Amino acid sequence: MTRINTNVPSLVAQSRLQNSNQDLQTALTRLSTGLRINTGADDPAGLIASEALRSEITSLGKAVSNTRRASQIISTADSGLGQVSNLLNDIRGLVVEAANAGGLSPEEIAANQLQIDSSLEAINRIAQSTTFQGSKLLDGTLDFVSTARSVASVRDINIDQANLGAVGQISADVVIESAATQATIAAGTSGFTAAAAATTTVNSGADVVTLTADSNGSSFNDVQILFNDDASIGDTAASAAFDTTQGIITVTYNSAAATATNSDMDAITAALDGLGDFSAALAGTGTNAFTEPATNPTTGKTGGEVLSSDLVFQLSGENGSETFNFGSGTAASQIAAAVNLVSDSTGVSASFDSVAGITFTSTGYGSDTLVDIEVINEAAGGTFAASLSDDRATGADIVATINGVVADGVGNTLSINTSVLDLTLTVDAGSSTNFSFDITGGGALFQMGPDVTTNQQARLGIGSVSTGQLGGANGRLYELGSGQARSLVNDVAGASVVIEDVIAKVTGLRGRLGAFQSTTLDSNMVSLNETLANLQEAESSIRDADFAQESANLTRAQILVQSGTNVLAIANQNPQNVLSLLR
């Protein structure tokens, strides 16, 4: 090469050295930042992918934080509910103890009532003081707002979860296809003697007064007539009065009356005939002076509707069993009354009328209720066993749909649990009335995923645990306080029913919150963390530098820069060789 104006080898060496310097700079940048992509020019497609992944990673990180926060809120609420449960158990113990009225003095029962009052105050205080970062958790603030309370046939409702969607509300249409029923067994009138008009007679000489009830049936069986010879009434006509409670007719007369017609058989007949439930008829002249009979007249079993022989049977219901032993002549109404005395122990009540006989009915509704009658012994001539419509019967649960979804029915309570709605409601006993209501807001809204959409959110209802709200169809907890309807003095049995309902409701709420925490929140946390780790790995593979490779690139670039610099120096000296031609 003998041209000197353009040093082509030098230009080539400069170009190569510039490229080597760029490679060196790139390697140094990647090693210093740890990133393979530092600018869009490094990898445009990779930058777009990594930025999208970074956005998802950031959202997932916040979703993990949200889930952790939600779990902390649930734990705080459960802690408060745990204290409420302890207080409720204490109240239940005090109620059971107070039921032992024969063994406790009034002062001891009053002391128990004071403890209950203190526990009720403590429950109200917990409802107001259980907070998380200033937000109250158990005072009803986090409960759903609905119009269900305005529906006449709704006795109780719990809305556990609801997806209110973009419009912020949801409607619930309840269609009851068949109402819940009670278990029923009938003992027809054929099981007893035929109904008739109860009757008896009063004799005095040749005169006979026949007293007859105005209506058929056992209501006027065993009515006794007593006579009261009372001189203090003076010369007045005989009179009669009927004590329906005791089943006694009292005839008051004065055998020494100056006017004979005031105490003769006509007077006695007139007095008995004046009774509202009976009629009296005289056979004879009626002029005979009345002589009090040696034995008081009675209607006996002449009204019918009684057992024709001795009977022993066992009656079983959902609460337990009881054995009954009745003698011949026991009225059907008395059997029904005896069954009702222990209905709380058996779960079976009874009613009687002259048309249907005795109807044994479960006190509850649904397939869990039953009436079972086992005739253990019936003497000859008895017809009770043959008159039974069945020996065992069960009730039926309510059948209904909510927004077209078939609900689970238990007695008068129905529930559904879908991705949109999770609720439990109780209707009036045996109600078949359709209704609808709206859920317009409320609930604790938790953002569970990286996207702000309804399917990545959970809205949980936490009802109030104040004494005015805790309870159900049988009453509210505040009613156990002093002076209230179900205090220990006024209705200890009713207090027991209410406290059992309240304990079940609080326990159910704790279980629901625990299930939400352990299944929904914990599983969501695991899923989010796994997804987050995978996305971070994917983002790292795209954007992060491979130090082994970049270290090799750095070494290579350093060598090339050094060699390129030496080569450039040599290339720049080449034109000087032309000077040798000029010597």
DSSP 152-210: TTEEEEEEEEE--TTTT-EEEEEEEEE--B--EEEE-GGGSPPP-EEEEEEEETTEEEE
Position 211 scores a pLDDT of 94
As a residue count, the chain comes to: 583
Mean pLDDT of 524-538: 87
Tell whether 332 and 243 lie within a shared domain.
no
CA 387/CA 241 separation, integer angstroms: 38
Question: For residue 497, is it within any domain?
Answer: no
Question: For residue 390, is it within any domain?
Answer: yes
Burial of 5 (0-12, 13-18, 19+ CB in 10 A): exposed
Question: For residue 219, is it within any domain?
Answer: yes
Q: Which of 344, 374, 394 is the last residue of a domain?
A: 394
Task: Answer yes or no: are the C-beta atoms of 373 and 385 closer than 8 Å.
Answer: no
Per-residue pLDDT tens for 251-267?
999 988 888 888 889 99
Q: Is the pLDDT of residue 367 over 90?
A: yes
Tell whether 402 and 485 lie within a shared domain.
yes
Q: Is the pLDDT of residue 555 over 90?
A: no
CA 27/CA 546 separation, integer angstroms: 10
CA 539/CA 293 separation, integer angstroms: 113
Task: Answer yes or no: are the C-beta atoms of 336 and 356 closer than 8 Å.
Answer: no
Q: Which of 340, 364, 394 is the last residue of a domain?
A: 394
Please name the residues in contact with 497: beta carbons below 8 A apart, sequence gap of 6 or more: 474, 475
Tell whether 263 and 163 lie within a shared domain.
no
Mean pLDDT of 472-477: 86
Position 544 scores a pLDDT of 67
CA 364/CA 360 separation, integer angstroms: 12
Question: For residue 408, is it within any domain?
Answer: yes
CA 63/CA 72 separation, integer angstroms: 14
What region, left, alpha or beta, does residue 110 occupy, with left being phi > 0 and alpha being psi -120 to 50 degrees?
alpha
End-to-end alpha carbon distance in the chain: 18
Tell whether 160 and 218 lie within a shared domain.
no
CA 85/CA 149 separation, integer angstroms: 26
Q: Which of 394, 416, 438 is the last residue of a domain?
A: 394
Tell whether 378 and 324 lie within a shared domain.
yes
CA 82/CA 92 separation, integer angstroms: 15
Task: Kindly report the average pLDDT of the chain as a whole number.
Answer: 89
* Rg of the Cα atoms in the chain: 47
Please name the residues in contact with 157: beta carbons below 8 A apart, sequence gap of 6 or more: 146, 148, 149, 423, 424, 425, 426
CA 204/CA 200 separation, integer angstroms: 14
CA 226/CA 211 separation, integer angstroms: 13
DSSP assigned state of 3: -
CA 517/CA 485 separation, integer angstroms: 38
- The residue among 403, 513, 381, 386 whose CA lies nearest residue 82 is 513
- The residue among 163, 84, 67 whose CA lies nearest residue 517 is 67
CA 90/CA 120 separation, integer angstroms: 11
Question: For residue 537, is it within any domain?
Answer: no
Half-sphere exposure of 275 (CA within 13 A, CB side): 27
CA 138/CA 79 separation, integer angstroms: 11
Tell whether 514 and 411 lie within a shared domain.
yes
3-state secondary structure of 30: helix
Q: What is the dihedral of CA 264, 266, 267, 273, to 10 degrees?
A: 150
Question: For residue 576, is it within any domain?
Answer: no
Residue 156 or residue 550, greater confidence = 156
Question: For residue 143, is it within any domain?
Answer: yes
Residue 37 or residue 203, greater confidence = 203
Q: Which domain holds residue 339?
A: 184-190+306-394
CA 523/CA 444 separation, integer angstroms: 19
Measure the CA angle with vertex 384, ends 381 and 390; round to 5°: 140
Mean pLDDT of 130-147: 91
- The residue among 318, 363, 314, 374 whose CA lies nearest residue 340 is 363
Tell whether 67 and 138 lie within a shared domain.
yes
Tell whether 519 and 404 lie within a shared domain.
yes
Tell whether 415 and 521 lie within a shared domain.
yes
Q: How many domains does the chain have?
A: 4
CA 483 to chain centre: 27
Position 199 scores a pLDDT of 95
Tell whether 433 and 459 lie within a shared domain.
yes
Measure Cα distances from 123 to 104, 161, 507 in Å: 26, 24, 15
Tell whether 371 and 269 lie within a shared domain.
no
Tell whether 211 and 241 lie within a shared domain.
yes
Q: Is the pLDDT of residue 1 over 60?
A: no
Half-sphere exposure of 521 (CA within 13 A, CB side): 23
CA 90 to chain centre: 21
Total Cβ atoms within 10 A of residue 567:
18
Position 153 scores a pLDDT of 93
To the question of pTM greater than 0.85 for the whole model, the response is: no
Question: For residue 295, is it within any domain?
Answer: no
Position 37 scores a pLDDT of 67
